[in-house]
Amino acid sequence: MGDRWYQEAVVYCLDVDTYADSDGDGVGDFQGLIGRLDYLARLGVTCLWLNPIHPSPNKDDGYDATDFYNVDPRLGTLGDFAELLHQAQNHGIRVIIDLVVNHTSDQHPWFQSARSSPDSPYRDWYVWSDHEPADRHQGMVFPGEQHETWTYDRTAKAWFYHRFYKFQPDLNIENPKVRAEIKKITSFWLQLGVSGFRMDAVPFIIEKTEPGNPNAPKDFDYLTDLRQHVQWRRGDAVLLAEANVEPDQLPVYFGDGSGSGNRIHMLFDFMLNGRLMLAFAREDPEAIIDALRDTPKLPTGGQWATFLRNHDEIDLSRLTADQRNDVLATFGPDENMQLYGRGIRRRLAPMLGNDRRHIELAYALQFSLRGTPVLRYGEEIGMGEDLSLKGRDAIRTPMQWSYKDNAGFSTAEPEKLVRPVIDKGEYGYQQVNVTAQRKDPRSLLGWFERMIRTLREAPEVGSGSTTHIDVPVPAGVLAHRADGRTGTMVFLHNLGTEDVEVDLSTLAPEADLPIDVLSDRNYEDVGKLDRLKLAGHGYRWIRLCRGGAL
């Protein structure tokens, strides 16, 4: 194991309320999740990222908190949460939680007080304007559902700023009291035992908002300050941030340029996410090769978090119009599959036509690319989406555990469920569930277990360096390598449907008993690496050599 756990982690993202319901009230809870830790340990997960767990009116699935020091009573008590941390630790699993401090719910007592009077001690905790800001209709994150970023509040007799929905007023990060409070919030959860935070909406947190200026400057030093605090309170805690900005703007989120990563440890690789989808749509790895080449150099300790699906729509806004159209045409052709004019509200299995070979190829590729892989719950069994639900709820349906009623998620009456289970068609729980796949060693779940275990034996993916192998290969094939302390891994992924042969003999001098460690089928031995067969949508993970440390 390397020095930094997050570089060799497998992160699993879930919403407690749709995972497992232990008390039959229709809502998943901490006790239910505790009961599934053995499942997660067997899968090979080493870190859970829990979507927001705080009390909330749940108008944005918990990303609208009313109390940062407590848990949503629907999920259990703080005691249950502490128990979860303990039991997860016993299973060798760390827990990180969402830190959503760009904004609060408008029902948060701070905002209620702030709006009640200009003299409220909390007035300056939010961002106000006495007059209508000229940029009121600019900068919306949810176009179509959100119409402005400044809203007039009659009680306050002033306009307040909200980067997201109007029930999510932005906190005023320039106020030292707000900064102190955010530190206190992180301290509280670290003291309870979390291993860090997935920081929501970081570019907006550090925005020094001014009415009328849609391009407000950003205070990156704030990130340095918060990192120092978090790291002092718990040395091995990590910050994993959502910052969906252009790649050339990313390095400054990792560190101040002095060479050490003194801000955010890990950033989600949104650019790679869009390009992976483009590469799958075009059956052409070019976009991934570009991504590997364009990846900014990270400071020491900086790390990418890769993903194919998360709890939001797939955001294609950083692709060109042509590229975006290709992805939409292939994976989200119906208007009902699209969201906010930029994304797709579907899970991966249905996007890939439930083609098992294609699903394996996609996840084998994600998990072999540089960084720490993040997996969304249910993807490991190939769950589908429910497009009859609103917006992003389509991909937030309950986990499908078994053939029992409500997919074994809950014993409540179906109408009491937090969200309906998928119970029809190809992706209905009768077809897609953990129990059925557990019985079948050839299931997708079984494959995920093997793939994740194999990754554990290839730590150079997480903690080494990854490069494209720039030799002539057949169309559709991506060849890349990961080099690190533990040796070298070579990866072949065929995005096309034709069977091909790949010549990697230029690598032969480096090889030491090269061997396939994961592949879509049993191929002939790698031999001299000059005639590597690769099926359409096939993949081969080859250990080229082991490093001196082992």
**Active-site residue numbers?**
200, 242
For β-strands 314-315 and 465-468, DSSP reports them as: unpaired
Taking the least distance from each CB to ligand NOJ, the nearer of 200 and 379 is 200
For β-strands 196-199 and 238-241, DSSP reports them as: parallel
| 270-282 helix and 321-331 helix, angle to the nearest 10 degrees | 60
Question: Is 106 a residue that touches ligand NOJ (CB under 6 A)?
Answer: no
| Dist. CA 304–CA 295, nearest whole Å | 10
* Shortest spacing between CB 141 and ligand NOJ, in angstroms: 7
User: Considering only residues 164, 268, 304, 331, which one is a binding residue for ligand NOJ as defined by CB under 6 A?
Assistant: 164
Taking the least distance from each CB to ligand NOJ, the nearer of 162 and 537 is 162
Taking the least distance from each CB to ligand NOJ, the nearer of 99 and 445 is 99
| Dist. CA 170–CA 154, nearest whole Å | 17
- Window 231-250: residues binding ligand NOJ (CB under 6 A): 242
Question: Is 200 a residue that touches ligand NOJ (CB under 6 A)?
Answer: yes
Question: Is 359 a residue that touches ligand NOJ (CB under 6 A)?
Answer: no
* Shortest spacing between CB 242 and ligand NOJ, in angstroms: 6
Pattern 17-46, ligand NOJ, x by CB under 6 A: ------------------------------
How would you classify residue 548: left for phi > 0, otherwise alpha for psi between -120 and 50, otherwise beta?
A: alpha
Taking the least distance from each CB to ligand NOJ, the nearer of 372 and 410 is 372
Question: Is 60 a residue that touches ligand NOJ (CB under 6 A)?
Answer: yes
For β-strands 238-241 and 266-268, DSSP reports them as: parallel
Neighbours of 513 (CB within 10 A): 9
Question: Is 312 a residue that touches ligand NOJ (CB under 6 A)?
Answer: yes
| Dist. CA 187–CA 184, nearest whole Å | 5
User: Considering only residues 99, 100, 206, 287, which one is a binding residue for ligand NOJ as defined by CB under 6 A?
Assistant: 100
Question: Is 483 a residue that touches ligand NOJ (CB under 6 A)?
Answer: no
Residue 65: closest CA among 77, 52, 78: 52
The Cα-based distances of 92 to 15, 85, 88, 451 in angstroms read 20, 10, 6, 19
Cα within 13 Å of Cα(79), Cβ side: 0
Taking the least distance from each CB to ligand NOJ, the nearer of 34 and 199 is 199
Give, as one character, the DSSP assignment of residue 95: E
User: Considering only residues 37, 65, 201, 374, which one is a binding residue for ligand NOJ as defined by CB under 6 A?
Assistant: 201
* Shortest spacing between CB 465 and ligand NOJ, in angstroms: 29
User: Considering only residues 6, 63, 189, 197, which one is a binding residue for ligand NOJ as defined by CB under 6 A?
Assistant: 63
**Position closest to ligand NOJ via CB:** 63
**Lookup: tokens for 29:** 């809870």
Question: Is 504 a residue that touches ligand NOJ (CB under 6 A)?
Answer: no
Taking the least distance from each CB to ligand NOJ, the nearer of 83 and 312 is 312
The Cα-based distances of 197 to 10, 238, 267 in angstroms read 15, 6, 12
Please give the distance of CA 174 from its chain centroid, rounded to a whole number. 28
**Lookup: tokens for 393:** 């709820």
Give, as one character, the DSSP assignment of residue 77: -
Question: Is 207 a residue that touches ligand NOJ (CB under 6 A)?
Answer: no
* Shortest spacing between CB 198 and ligand NOJ, in angstroms: 9
Binding site for ligand NOJ (CB under 6 A): 60, 63, 100, 164, 200-201, 242, 311-312
